[in-house]
Amino acid sequence: MGHTFGVKCAKCEYKFEAVIGHGMAWCDFFASDPYTNTPYYLEYIEDEKILEDICHILQNEENVRAHVIDEIGYSHGLMQYHCVKCGRLHNKCYFKLVFTDGSYEPKYYCDCCENKLIKVNLENYIKLKWHCPLCGQNKLVNDPDAQRIYFD
């Protein structure tokens, strides 16, 4: 299950629509769509470096043979990431691969300033009164006018 909700700045026009969770396609993150024969994760990950990392891990026979590579459980889905340099929020695909030789989590970088992003819980983001990336005020609030979508 997943849902969306909005965040806005009470002082300026900044708005952000958060997409949280996962739909049914995420049940097996590495399964292929039966119609296109492409892995589901390709729909959610645009970063070439992360795609290369995943391919490298999946090509290692020991990782695949150990059957521990798919121990993602509920630690995957669409989550929010924050840039501490410019303050922008981003919706990104979160997952953690656990495999024979270790684990892997994607590292994302801001589209605007190329700073490394940190994963945030958006409810805490609002409570902590982080600053708006446009006007700099600490007035980020829930946006009651944003469209609420629940998806499977």
52-83, pLDDT tens digit by residue? 887 777 776 666 555 444 444 345 677 889 99
User: Measuring CA to CA, which residue among 125, 144, 123 is closest to residue 133?
Assistant: 125
Q: What is the pLDDT of residue 68?
A: 46
Q: What is the pLDDT of residue 138?
A: 84
Query: What phi, psi does 68 have (nearest 5°)?
Result: -105, -5
pTM above 0.85, yes or no: no
Low-confidence ranges of the chain (pLDDT < 70): 1-3, 21-31, 40, 44, 60-76, 99-101, 123-128, 147-152
Q: What is the pLDDT of residue 1?
A: 60
